[in-house]
């Protein structure tokens, strides 16, 4: 996301957590509807209700009191032709119409649903997440390689890491409204699971994996570059060299041979409108502070404020 100058004064590239370890996947047959209309491979009632093609294709609910553990709506008739459905809306936001909607439905299944419903014959989205992660890295890498032929390997690597980090993907997931489509266990859902950045980012990767299986490289490339259009435009205009955090780190290492540290000092607001306040410190001394709708945005704002306080000769 590209923030406005008067808001957080930075380009927002939210982030993938370190480690990347994944739990062992469980492999089950995906619920889907056969040519005859009969359900195939459905082993549990809860899963059938949650993942039925009829329920996910219902138009958005208007009743305020719909239960959160039935995000896709009750089973019912598929709407008449021409009527917008929830799945249609999601596909429009992604920019891809699935030939096999079962792939998109699978991408919405969080592993916590299987933990609470072990008898359900359905696969979680973790395998799709694994695939989507690889596809995302490959497409972003190729795009940067082709668009910046004179860039160094280090620059390309750093920019790619900014584009594929989990917080960036979580923002893209929110823009598509993925949280409301997730099928998850009640325990995780009760802990604000639909708004957790880690869950949203991984779900977006699962969707990318589903897009790749459904439409191949061209479809995945189209969806990814469309979703990242703001970030890619910011890179084209500014480049990584003008990233405040990178500039501040260069300045601090040259001036004090120290690395700036960012500390979240305040976090407030509801889950969908969080505001973070961050201070940046070097050797225990606070150089600046900033606020933004994500930690990354607040860090960028803090770095920019710190740069303003440095003498001109200290700037790289």
pLDDT tens readout for residues 213-230: 999 999 999 999 999 998
Burial 218-233 (b: 16+ CB within 10 A, else e): ebbbbbbeebbebbbe
pLDDT tens readout for residues 38-53: 333 333 334 434 444 4
Mean of pLDDT over the chain: 75
Structural domains in the chain? 32-237 (1.10.1520.10), 243-314 (3.30.160.20)
Q: What share of the chain is helix, strand, coil (3-state, %, to 5)?
A: 55, 10, 35
The answer to pTM > 0.75 is no
Encoding tokens for residue 33?
A: 């509807």
Phi and psi angles of residue 263, each rounded to the nearest 5 degrees, phi first: -125, 125
Classify the phi-psi angles of 177: left when phi > 0, otherwise alpha if psi is within -120 to 50, otherwise beta: left
Measured from the Cβ of residue 149, the count of other Cβ atoms closer than 10 Å reads 6
Contact indicator for 209, 130 with CB cutoff of 8 Å = yes
Percentage, residues of the chain above pLDDT 90 = 39
How far is it, in rounded angstroms, from Cα 7 to Cα 5?
6
pLDDT tens readout for residues 23-39: 333 333 333 333 333 33
CA distances from 89 to 63, 94, 96, 117 (A): 18, 9, 11, 28
Hey, which residues are catalytic here?
133, 205
């Amino acid at each position: 996301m590209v923030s406005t100058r008067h808001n957080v004064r930075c380009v927002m590239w939210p982030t993938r957590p370190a480690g990347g370890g994944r739990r062992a996947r469980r492999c089950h047959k995906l619920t889907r509807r056969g040519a005859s209309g009969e359900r195939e491979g459905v082993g549990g009632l809860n899963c059938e209700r949650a993942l039925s093609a009829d329920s996910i294709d219902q138009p958005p609910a208007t009743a305020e009191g719909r239960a959160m553990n039935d995000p896709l709506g009750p089973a019912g008739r598929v709407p008449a032709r021409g009527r917008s459905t929830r799945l249609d809306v999601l596909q429009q936001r992604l920019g891809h119409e699935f030939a096999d909607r079962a792939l998109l439905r699978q991408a919405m299944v969080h592993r916590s649903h299987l933990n609470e419903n072990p008898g359900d014959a359905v696969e979680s989205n973790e395998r799709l997440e694994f695939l989507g992660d690889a596809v995302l890295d490959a497409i972003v890498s190729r795009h940067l390689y082709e668009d910046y032929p004179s860039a160094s390997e280090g620059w390309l690597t750093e920019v790619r890491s900014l584009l594929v980090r989990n917080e960036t993907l979580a923002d893209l997931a929110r823009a598509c409204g993925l949280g409301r489509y997730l099928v998850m266990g009640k325990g995780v859902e009760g802990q604000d699971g639909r708004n957790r950045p880690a869950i949203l980012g991984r779900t977006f990767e699962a969707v990318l994996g589903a897009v790749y299986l459904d439409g191949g490289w061209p479809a995945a490339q189209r969806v990814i570059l469309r979703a990242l259009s703001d970030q890619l435009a910011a890179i084209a205009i500014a480049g990584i060299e003008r990233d405040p955090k990178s500039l501040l780190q260069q300045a601090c290492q040259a001036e004090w041979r120290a690395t700036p540290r960012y500390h979240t000092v305040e976090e407030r607001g509801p889950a969908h409108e969080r505001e973070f306040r961050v201070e940046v410190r070097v050797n225990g001394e606070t150089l600046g502070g900033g606020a933004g709708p994500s930690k990354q945005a607040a860090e960028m704002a803090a770095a920019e404020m710190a740069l303003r306080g440095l003498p001109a000769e200290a700037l790289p």
